[in-house]
Amino acid sequence: MLGAILFFIGLTLRLFIYWRGQWDFWALVRGVLSTLFSQKIWELIKITVLDGILQRRLFGQDKLRWLMKVLIMIGYPGILIAGHLKVEMMSQFAGFPHLIRFFYAPFCDFYYFRDVTASSLSISDALFAISFDLFGAMILMGELIAIYRRFVAKMVTFETSSGDILAVNLLGGWFILRFFCEATSILTYSLPTSVAQYWFVSFGLSKIIAPLGLPWSSLNYPLWSLSGLFLAALVAFIPYNKKLWHIITIPVVMFINLMPKEAFAPGSRKVSLPLSVKGLIALDSCVKCGSCVDICPLYTQTKQLEITMGGFFTNLRSFIRKAYGLPGFFLGPGKNKEILKEYSEHPYLCTLCGRCGTVCPAFIDTKDLRIATREFMVEEGEYPPLMNRLAETLEKVHNIVGDPPEDRPMWVQALSRVPEHMFQKEKAKVVYFVGCVASYFPMTKRIPQSFVQILDKAGVDFTILGGEEWCCGFPMIAAGMKKRAEVMLQHNLEKVKEKGAEGIVFACPSCYHTWKERFKTEIEIFHSTQFIKKLIDEGKISFKGKTTKVTYHDPCDLGRASGVYEAPRQILQAIPGVELVELERNREECRCCGGGGDLEMVRPDLSAALAETKIEEIKATGADMVISACQQCIRTILTTARKKKIPIVAMDITEFVLKNMVG
């Protein structure tokens, strides 16, 4: 009972912080109901089994850690369910209220052993006995592996806190004690082998300790009491330790990841903590497991743990607890604000490549949370001042480079054959949204120049928005200034609607992803690779052959963020003579080029270092050229290659398609 009281106090402290965050009661209720009563429930069941229980994500990463997790993930629910089922069936508890039975469930064997008189067990009792010891042994093995990894092999990246040591000891200690309790009960009540053998671990243990000749009956009750104390301490400690608390938050995170974004709209409540309740729960789910460290391109360059997701989340969580928990509520943030200033740049030392999100065993949408934490830092006023300059430029001239808006379609003038309307029609079936980088950077103007020719040759009724096109808003969203990006998003949507378009196509994955995420509209949204693939399938594009060996770089916002991996590969494979060799890390594992997440603005040196690593990986394939499907990737790779004088051919897929097209 004491454990339960301490648990509820800790739970209240946690919920207090969530309560101070952004949420809207009815939006949340609608979100929960619309998820529960939709097809998403099957997705939830699938990920619960494959990712939650069978730990699919860990299997490819670290087999020992996978085994540890699977043993614990099966053992704990197994023993809890078996214990509760058995208590419900035991005659000793008939008539007891459910709450009492709930608390006695972990000790059901104590009561069972005390009263058993039979010389054999019923099938159900035998199955319960076997399952208790089987699940218990699984948990114990899992805990032993955890201890080995952390303390013997030192396979963990982050330091182990004293709280984590206590948590591991309580988890493992309770099961060791439990087996001793069962063994002493077997000896105390002289259970016949025909009965005791089903508790196969405890029975074996009883055989080992029996020769010690200790007063088992005197030890039995104190041992079960000690086991009760361990369990109470374990329960009480859950809300106070991240490793234990994430047992509760992980299923919640799995569920809220499936909920619609609108469910986490801030609502009209006056909010003091500028982070959504989704972000706060996700932040609490990080157990500093270290999976996101070695795969992070920024970490491989800087070796700074505090800029990885695990490191940064830990610092931020600690700040939020102090500044927005009960002490902060009564005393204000005080000196904690200065601590926040110290790591104001950290959230921006990230390309938002999303690679960490693919390996995170806590199912944290790391990219989403990183952007949310940037919004938090902006609200707190602790962020790189350069972000203000970016926002001001975008608000003034609606493009990231600061050039006049009317210069946006200047790339058209370099084309040899241009229709009278200069690709700007009053009405068209399809709008080609060009994007800032391809419109303004000389290095990437070949992308729109190629794409309009492809569309023209394929007979597509399309238009561009010209000077009426504004930045898609992604650079501002990535900077943590989502609210300020809203005007640009709405402007673009209106302009596309004015054209009466049925579809919109983007050659830039970030623009494409922003529209996909943001707009539920009748207008069909395509990336250029999807659109070209459609044109090939419709027979509107055909190719001449030329022997070329190419490799393909998956842009982060097209691959990991939007799940488009196959369309570009299918296009390349449709061109006769093209041999596609994959990069060492491709598709979901593709290494970022360094061009995303506004990193180039904050730390151009790091962005260039990432591009250099990418170029080395491309070179290692022996391909004649690298093809990508993103203007920013092409610009980042080529800029670094030129600076470092590395000979490399990098081409957007639109250019490559045009070069190989018939006609």
Q: Which residue is nearest to ligand SF4 (CB)?
A: 310
Q: Which is nearer to ligand SF4, 369 or 454 (CB)?
A: 369
- 633 touches ligand SF4 by CB under 6 A: no
- Residue 290 interacting with ligand SF4 (CB under 6 A): yes
562 lies in the site for ligand SF4, by CB under 6 A: no
Question: Quick check: 626 and 618 in contact, CB under 8 A?
Answer: yes
What is the residue type of 48? T
Query: Do the Cβ atoms of 630 and 611 come closer than 8 Å?
Result: no
Phi, psi of 514 (to 5 degrees): -60, -45
Identity of the residue, 228 or 361, whose beta carbon is nearer to ligand SF4 in the bound complex: 361
User: Is 480 in contact with 377 (CB distance < 8 Å)?
Assistant: yes
Cα–Cα distance list, 456 to 431, 540, 556, 575 (Å): 13, 11, 29, 19
353 interacts with ligand SF4 by CB under 6 A: yes
Nearer to ligand SF4, 292 or 578 (CB): 292
- Looking at residue 86, its amino acid is K
Contact stretch for ligand SF4 (CB under 6 A) within 177-185, 325-333, 361-369, 445-453: 361-369
Element (H, E) at 463: strand 462-464
The one among 75, 239, 274, 297 contacting ligand SF4 by CB under 6 A: 297
Binds ligand SF4 (CB under 6 A): choice among 31, 310, 475, 559: 310
Q: Is 62 helix (H, G, I), strand (E, B) or coil?
A: coil
How far is Cα 526 from Cα 508, in angstroms, rounded to an integer?
10
The C-alpha angle with vertex 651 and arms to 649 and 652, in degrees rounded to 5, equals: 165
Pick the piece of the chain touching ligand SF4 (CB under 6 A) from 96-104, 130-138, 293-301, 383-391.
293-301
Answer yes or no whether residue 476 interacts with ligand SF4 by CB under 6 A.
no
Sheet holding 430-433, edge to edge: 462-464, 430-433, 503-506, 524-527
Cβ closest to ligand SF4, residue 62 vs residue 133? 62
Locus of tokens 């561009």: 464
Distance between CA 120 and CA 460 in Å, rounded? 80
Tokens in use for 288? 């500093």
Q: Is 308 in the site for ligand SF4 (CB under 6 A)?
A: yes
Give 34 or 61: the residue with its C-beta nearer to ligand SF4: 61
| DSSP alpha helix (H) spans, 398-468 | 436-440, 446-457
Confirm or reject binding of residue 660 to ligand SF4 (CB under 6 A).
no
Please list the residues that pair with 625 across neighbouring strands.
550
Task: Report the residue number, 116 or 248, with the smaller CB distance to ligand SF4.
Answer: 248
Under rule CB under 6 A, residue 281 binds ligand SF4 = no
Question: Does residue number 558 form part of the binding site for ligand SF4 (CB under 6 A)?
Answer: no
Which residue lies nearer to ligand SF4 by CB, 289 or 633?
289
* Options 58-66, 284-292, 376-384, 491-499: segment touching ligand SF4 (CB under 6 A): 284-292
> Minimum CB separation from ligand SF4 for residue 286, in Å?
3
Q: Can residue 356 be called a binding residue for ligand SF4 (CB under 6 A)?
A: yes
Shortest Å, Cβ 588 to ligand SF4: 12
For ligand SF4, which residue of 121, 223, 360, 525 counts as binding (CB under 6 A)?
A: 360
Instruction: Report the residue number, 106 or 595, with the smaller CB distance to ligand SF4.
Output: 595
- Does residue 355 belong to the site contacting ligand SF4 (CB under 6 A)? yes
Dist CA 636 CA 613 (whole Å): 12
Write the CA distances from 87 to 77, 112, 119, 347, integer angstroms.
Answer: 15, 10, 21, 50
**Closer CB to ligand SF4, residue 439 or residue 607?**
607
Pick the closer one to ligand SF4 by CB: 246 or 408.
246
614 contributes a contact to ligand SF4 by CB under 6 A: no
463 near ligand SF4 (CB under 6 A)? no
Q: Is 347 in the site for ligand SF4 (CB under 6 A)?
A: no
| Binding segment toward ligand SF4, per CB under 6 A, in 88-96, 250-258, 347-355, 391-399 | 347-355
Q: How far is the C-alpha of 660 from the C-alpha of 663, rounded, in Å?
A: 9
DSSP string over 466-484: GGG----SHHHHHTT-HHH
Q: Which is nearer to ligand SF4, 464 or 590 (CB)?
A: 590
Euclidean distance between the first and final Cα of the chain, in Å?
80
Alpha helices (H) along 544-603: 566-574, 599-602
Q: Is 529 in the site for ligand SF4 (CB under 6 A)?
A: no
- Near ligand SF4 by CB under 6 A: residue from 298, 431, 447, 508: 298
Closest to ligand SF4 by CB, 175 vs 299, is 299
Write down the least CB distance from residue 71 to ligand SF4, Å: 19
Q: Which of 22, 184, 257, 366 binds ligand SF4 (CB under 6 A)?
A: 366
Instruction: Identify the residue among 181, 364, 464, 532 touching ligand SF4 (CB under 6 A).
Output: 364
Position 350 contacts ligand SF4 (CB under 6 A): yes
Non-local CB neighbours of 80 within 8 Å, separated by 6+ positions: 105
Nearest residue (CB) to ligand SF4, 21 versus 311: 311
Q: Is 362 in the site for ligand SF4 (CB under 6 A)?
A: yes
Q: Which is nearer to ligand SF4, 20 or 355 (CB)?
A: 355
Q: Token pair for residue 318?
A: 């600690």
Closest distance to ligand SF4 from the beta carbon of 65 (Å): 11
**Which SS3 state, helix, strand or coil, does residue 612 take?**
helix
φ and ψ of 580, to 5 deg: -100, 120
Establish if 447 lies at the interface with ligand SF4 (CB under 6 A): no
| Shortest reach from residue 26's CB to ligand SF4, in Å | 31
Q: Which is nearer to ligand SF4, 21 or 310 (CB)?
A: 310
Ordered alpha helix ranges (H), 189-332: 193-196, 200-209, 216-237, 242-258, 277-285, 297-302, 309-324, 326-331
Cα separation, 438 vs 432, whole angstroms: 12
Return the bridge partners of 430, or none. 462, 503
Nearest to 69 by CA among 289, 258, 283: 289
d(CA 399, CA 39) in angstroms, rounded, equals 40
Would you say 386 and 603 are in contact if contact means Cβ atoms under 8 Å apart?
no
Q: Which residues bind ligand SF4 (CB under 6 A)?
A: 286-292, 296-298, 308-310, 313, 350-356, 359-360, 362, 364, 366-367, 592
